[in-house]
Structure 1
Amino acid sequence: MDLLAHLKSADSSGGGESSGFGSDMISNKISMEKPTLAFSGEERYLTPLWVSRKADELYDPSQDGFELRAGNIIHEKMKTVLKMLVFREQQVLVQFWSPRVVGKHRLLTTIDQPFGLGVVNEGLCSYRRDSESKCHVADKDHDEEDLSPPARVFRLGLPEWTSDVTNYLPKDFPQQECAIRCNLNGYLALPVFNLTTGSRVGVIELLTSSKHPSFAYEVQQFQRALKTQNLTCQQVSDGPVSDVINEGRRNELEKIFGILSIVCDYYRLPLGQTWVVSSLSTIASHEQVLRMSCNSFDSTCLGKVCMSTCGLPYYVKDLGLWPFLEACMERHLDKFCGLVGRAFLSRGSCFCKDVTKLSEEEYPLVHFARMHGITSSFAIHLHSVESNHDYVLEFFLPSHMKDIKHVLNLVQLLKQYFEAASRFELGDKSFIEVVGPLMDLWVNIQPDIMDTCSDAPDIARTNFVDVPDECSSTNLGRKCKRGSKNMVYVKATYGENSKGFWFSISSGLWKLKSKVAKRFKLKRQMICLKYWDEDNDLILFSSNDDLEFAKIASGDNKRINLICESLRHHVD
């Protein structure tokens, strides 16, 4: 490239020996400093870097004294950073790419920039020599079809990574062939910023022989070391609120924390925490496609919409659950699974009496829940009208709160406090999805809450929940037994929309019409209900007896399928 020739020409005109970096790194021309820092704890078992000694400064007549001094400062800071790093393996190369003004262009180059090797061998040195033969135009308005990862990272200010460089197309990673030849597989590049000014100062690049499924550890290493030099890069799980700078959002999170603490104290809940959808803030190469990903730097998140609890309000009443809370912060959840995902997608709520009996697919944190004795969990959607942010609040219930009536009381308390806080909308309070093997779910539920109170939540189950053979409820202070024959699952269809809920047929047709009307936001007096009989004819519900007939016609003793029609249509 002509610009590279210009760069090296400028180097030679300055009388320096920086061109020697690209000739023989294992020779005496380029010496490496042996690690000297004393590491303690687990870090003493990991691999520190041999760091390059400083060569003569690159000179370019187009650069003024200030730029040269600034370059020297960054050079020394990055060299200090490299000396503080330790890695999980020896076959690692870390190098810094710096922008330099050459003529009318700003080039990104690694010539004369600090680099470190986990072990000094020909493979790593070969890739380093190849890197010095490259330079990339870093001008924002420069139109270049084939860009390398460092150039993209510097231009966009976003990290880029992959567990295997073969996930790239050759045009997206010009050094791919060299990396494969040098037995380098994992790749990570991070933009480096001045912590005070926020300006971009370069790109730090890591290549490893291992195909790490996650670079969380390495990113944390870089972040910790850079911070000591008043520099920064993106953090792992930087939290969905890392970009929060407005006071309004801070106040919003403070309100959520306050309510979490009040509710957990009132009901003696061991833990309450907040989840949101994690922002897409990294670029990952997967199956030869560059795609936006979340900030977990974990390959398990690729192609998914993730939810994170990092950096969001939580309240721990039982300090024994700190390890569980940390596990939640370190792990992202797929939006399409788990109780949190269900509550978010439905904009409602979800309850499980014993999450330890669920599979890892149904509850990704089940292993940690078993370790820490967590069983009952309840999640509910929360929307902020002011900021338009959506949250999910997750509560873990103590052993004395395993019945659904306690969950209903919890919902009412949340409703009370969030309405008082204003500008918040709690998830659909008329419907609680219940998942998992619940056994005695219907024991001791107030019928005035379950059947006759129009404002109380209804309860639905997923298709893998077993209905108990016998259950009981309290009626006006006295207990009465109701077998499961009384409870049926109603699937109501109005036009193209369908709603499902559990219903006690002893409540009668009038109550059923009220519930259906509420689901579709219709007036009870203006609807009629019909069901399909054994001959596949639509039959109008005209009396309570039809409830039994509809149950029999469905072929399932615990289900009723019905059609809701508007009387207004019939009149017209």
Structure 2
Amino acid sequence: MILDISEFLQIFSPISLHHSEPGCYNNPWVFWSESEGCENNSSSADLGTPPMIHEKIKSALSNTHCWCFFAQFWAPVTIDSRRLLSTSDQPFAITHLYNNFAQYRLLSEKYKYNIDANKLHIEPDHIILSGGPATAFRNCRASIDKAHGFLLEMNDKLISVMVPICFAFKSNCIGVLEFLFNDSEYKLASFLVYTVEAIKKAGLDVFYVQHLIPYKAISGLEVTKDEIEEALKVVCETHNLALAQVWIPYEDKYNVPFSYSLKDSKTKRLLAIKLTGYLYAVTNFEKYLRFGDLTPRAIEEELLLVTLQDYKPRYISKLHSNKLIGWDFGFPSPPRALAICLRSNDTGDFNYAFEFIWTKHSNYKIFLEAILLTLKRCLPRFKFASGTEIGDELHIHNKVGGTKFKIFQGKRSMVVDDIAHSEVKCKTTPIVLPREVIEKQFGKTMNDAAKDLNVSLSTFKRKFKELDIPEWPGPNFMKRNINDSSVIQMNTNEEDNGAIEYTSTVNLNKNELTIKAEYEDDMIKFNLPISQATFVNIKKEMGKKLELGDKTYKLKYLDEDGDWITLKSDEEMTDCIKSSRKSGRIVIRMRVLPSPQPI
């Protein structure tokens, strides 16, 4: 039942609620109490959430839009020396003034969620719960799931979306935004992406799954990722695919509850996190691509990801719209998809789920063969996780009807010959590069060194990683500040064989960037997680530290060839990061220059 505003406010009496009306269609009503910013229910509680955070949360909620949802902010408080999440005196929002949403809000204020790592047991009175927003807070990971805890008492068809919040450039979670929907046709990928944009517009940020990727734990993964990125680009552009993504398995390491019931279940669930992706030609799929950066996917939830478990290739002749995304929107025919599970010789038994989506096609069997042949050319060191070579006769499961079909039937000799004589060359064949040969290239850029040795950049990078060279000593290597904690130190004593001896003196964090920027006579330096290194974030941080007005300055970065390149977009920021890796730098050097002002 929809109430008018006076009836809705009366439900919360005697608490006096302030509110702002929807600014436009599908924007919510936003509510807050006079006592927000301080927890008054217990004398042993801390001072609650700072008013600044409340204002930012209200701003983010007011700019979030969807047909029908309820949202509230769970903030950390300390009660009786225990860290908990609470909605008391926190902002909340509703698109429609439904009575059941008001009742859920009142019920939420009676409960707390435990985020104290040393006190994870559940209280006998069940007022302090586990799971739900506590899991999102502790893991710093957005999630989409069925209704949890006391929600089941109200409606077992609700969908819950949890979004942990942080400050830009910070790694500490400051609370969790919870969104509830009725179990109906909502395109949750688009909603989550748009919600993150509203959160960023309010001056806050979210966490990205890339920080979960275990680069350091799996030898060769970072170099293999670079190879995969090149291959996805070639495959998409060669065959006009809309989208290609690669997912890797991940088991949660925190051993915290995934169950959203009242029981403290510590069952671990295998997740898939996006390693990388490439969008080509069809921008309608951008939301799906970005969605993979925001939250992992639970394996077994979708057939495209279950291949990580059973290694069976899957073809979907028609992607149907679901709660996640509207696949058939705006296309004359529904998109099709292929999912396969591969392994690389360079990373052993580690699995990669390749996902390809396209909208234009002819004979699907020939089309699938063509995709796999191009992938074979680009990734010669990969084969199916089942042990089959790419190009061998292959059984593919068709989701529609649960049938199977074969490709490459009796074509093995033709396939091998085709690969050998193809003009499409993504990678060179395996080549031996002794350490002494590579060492003679020290002091050059990696691009120049690879060209001199007549190998691809990816092959060259893989080879020097195999030799346990911690970082490539490029042309600017000797110029680095020896006191910089993120720079490798060099000893230039030359041995008889002409090699340069080097030692690593510090810990190198490849998930974090160090940025140095010059502006007139000033220089600043700050660190930033790679997952948050967007053009907008970096420019905003520059402006804040140098006290510059927006649109009054521009940025340039120093690339691996020693040239200053103008930086204007996220795509160029990605090139900037790649350039720093190619040159052997972890420190990105930038210049802040005044922009010409209109007369």
Q: TM-score, normalised by structure 1?
A: 0.50
Structure showing greater relative contact order (alpha-carbon pairs closer than 8 Å, 6 or more residues apart): 2
Whose helix proportion is higher, 1 or 2?
1
Q: TM-score, normalised by structure 2?
A: 0.48
